Chains A and B, each alone.
Chain A
Amino acid sequence: MSRLVVENLGIATAAGTQILEDVSFDIAPGEIVGLVGESGSGKSMTSYAVMGILPRGVHQTSGRILVDGEDVTDVERRSVACHFAMIFQNPRDSLNPLMRVGEQVARMVALHQGVSRRDARVQAVELLEQVRIAQPAEAARKYPHQLSGGMCQRIMIAMALACRPRLLLADEPTTALDVTVQSQILDLMVELTEQIQCGVLLVTHDLGVVAETCDRVNVLHQGNLVEHGPAMDLLHNPQHEYTRYLLDSARELEVDGRA
């Protein structure tokens, strides 16, 4: 059974502008599915809609969202109950600057597993170890501004793990990081996905990231899903004009980068 099924999802602004139209896709347990497209194609909004955190003035107009076969279209039934987790583009900004990172992870442990604060703290340190933070007990006492971007993203992933996620939404998780750190974070995500068998929706504009991590890809163009399929097929043999355009642009960048 699919972990996540999104059927005919539509999103519009309060003013009536359609942001997303009739988008459907699914994710199997342990599978990483990419959602690619240029800025403004609606890929981040898709992830926000699934997570149930659409910004003020934007709302879902159509479609159903199912998790393990259960209909959770009603926002109230998502997040805590469904064990959705999400990581974002700017990891440091995504953490509360006034709270120790260990405390922030522990807060999610307590919230999602209903354990005492003390147990939550112990578990938080274990989670930091799980995301390969050296000296996790010491790191737990740090504040976000004392950690690098890559470290902050690891903290975010630890927070995601604290939710025992069935689904992880990753919105441009490595865009703001150094190239060397990028692949470390991606490797960690791939490994943990395998380990806990959650489904991952990876929102990115970076086809290199897709090639490295995704099992399948959906291509979004101006709010419509224009192509989908296994990552390798799609990257080597794109069918839709827009996908070819994206690939050409990426290749040009790569050539420029080497020159």
Chain B
Amino acid sequence: MLRYVLRRLAISAVTVAGLVLVTFIVVRILPGDAAAARLGPEASQADIDALRAQLRLDDSLPKQLLDYTTGLLKGDLGPAVSTGRPVSDELFDRLPATIELAFAGLVIALLIGFPWGLLAAARPGRVGDVSGRLFAVLGSSMAPIWLGLLLIFGFYSTWHLFPGPVGRLAIGTLPPPEVTGTYVFDSLLAGDFGLAWQSIQYLALPALTLGLGASAAVFKMVRSAVLHTADSGFVRTARAYGVPGREVLLRDQLRNAMLQVLTAIGLVFGFLLGGNIIVERLFNWPGMGRVAYDALGSNDLGLLQGYALIIGTIYILLNLVVDLVYGVIDPRVRLGGSNS
């Protein structure tokens, strides 16, 4: 197991290094001059040159890469040209909001997709299965922006069940004292249940927008992975020996399907973290996706690079966690190869 863990860690480290290199290069080969973009069309060539020198854009690429990676090791992602603040401040300030939203989306996706997928696999072709497949087609083909608008229209404008898309809390409400940066959790830590409830209400619609789409993916994966095990020899054995159906489903089928399901959950969470730019924009959610959206508008490539790097790193870490959980679940991974 130790060898497996070390191997996974090494692979993740190499992947992060690759990610740093790729984001660095992509930003450098894009057309456009960051200095010129910041100073605007009226700027003189002398001003632009001065800013280029200040931002060290005239150094050779290897020198720039070296400076950049040295900075990274110290937690310095460089300056955000459009705002003048460090990129790391811009993004890490917003990270908790993004994580809170993505996590809420994942919880919704799992609450809907997981039991439904299991039910569908237990009785394929029956009502639970057919309705689930219909739901999955709808869920995965509906654009988040459209679904979000529908939810706002229904639950806010028409029925007034949830607050409108104005961010994480009602305008004028003070956030809870910061511990983790996630409002629901911090409110609970501060013992302010009213504030926690308000945070949940504001979180509900954007999380539902993200979660409904993702639950379709979770449903499909759970269903197919569990169904796939139905034909395997050990399930036949368990059935033949009279093991009760529910126990076969949970202890034999689901456990063996969990490897695939976990992979899917890791991917879905990564997607929810990085793919919610539009949802954050729609609900005025002050997360990292909003920063990236604004950075696109102001041509702030350094900020975009930082965004890609952070999201990419989180993705790699998620995969690492999934790989390590594999080792816990599957003795074949933990104890090394098959001897067949």
Contacts and interface: CB of A to CB of B under 8 A. Distances in A.
A88 B233 contact: yes
A95 B243 contact: no
Nearest to B332: A145
A68 interface: no
B332 A143 contact: yes
B331 A143 contact: yes
B241 A163 contact: yes
Given A93-B233, A97-B256, A79 B240 contact: yes
Contacts of A97: 234, 256, 330-332
A90 B231 CA distance: 14
B241 A79 contact: yes
Contacts, number: 72
A111 B241 contact: yes
Interface string B297-340: 00000000000000000000000000000000111100100111
B14 interface: no
Contacts of B256: 96-98
A53 B329 contact: no
A98 B329 contact: yes
B239 interface: yes
A52 B239 CA distance: 9
A16 B51 CA distance: 82
Interface in B216-249: 232-234, 236-243
A107 B240 CA distance: 13
B121 to A, nearest CB: 13
Please classify how large the interface on chain B is, using the bins under 10, 10 to 19, 20 to 34, 35 or more: 20 to 34
A108 B241 contact: yes
Chief secondary structure at chain A's binding surface: loop
Contacts of B338: 145
A148 interface: yes
B325 to A, nearest CB: 13
A95 B233 CA distance: 7
B339 A145 contact: yes
A83 to B, nearest CB: 9
Interface in B89-118: none
A86 interface: yes
B255 interface: yes
Contact of B252 (A92, A96, A143, A148): A96
A185 B335 CA distance: 28
Contact of A94 (B233, B251, B255, B332): B233
B340 A96 contact: no
Nearest to A84: B240
Given A90-B233, A93-B233, A98-B330, A146 B339 contact: yes
A111 B243 contact: yes
Contacts of B237: 86, 88, 94-96, 156, 159
Most-contacted residue by chain A among B232, B238, B239, B240 (CB, 10 A): B240
A31 B329 CA distance: 42
Contacts of B339: 145-148
Interface residues of A, number: 30
Contacts of A53: 236, 239-240
A80 B241 CA distance: 7
Interface in A27-61: 51-53
A79 B234 CA distance: 16
Interface in A83-119: 84-86, 88, 90, 92-98, 107-108, 111-112
A98 B255 CA distance: 8
Interface in B230-280: 232-234, 236-243, 251-252, 255-256
Interface string B72-85: 00000000000000
Contact of B234 (A96, A111, A163): A96
A133 to B, nearest CB: 16
A9 to B, nearest CB: 18
A80 to B, nearest CB: 4
A96 B251 CA distance: 9
A146 B340 CA distance: 8
Nearest to A147: B339
A149 interface: yes
A145 B335 CA distance: 10
Nearest to B331: A143
B331 A85 contact: no
Contacts of B234: 93-97
B248 to A, nearest CB: 10
Most-contacted residue by chain A among B241, B255, B331, B339 (CB, 10 A): B241
12 contacts: A79-B240, A85-B241, A93-B233, A93-B234, A94-B233, A94-B234, A96-B234, A97-B330, A108-B241, A111-B242, A148-B339, A163-B241
Given A88-B236, A96-B234, A96-B237, 16 more contacts: A51-B240, A79-B240, A79-B241, A80-B242, A84-B240, A85-B241, A86-B237, A93-B232, A94-B233, A96-B251, A97-B330, A97-B331, A111-B241, A143-B331, A145-B338, A145-B339
Interface of B: 232-234, 236-243, 251-252, 255-256, 329-332, 335, 338-340
* Shortest beta-carbon contacts, A-B, top 9: A79-B242, A93-B233, A80-B242, A94-B233, A96-B234, A143-B331, A145-B338, A94-B237, A86-B240
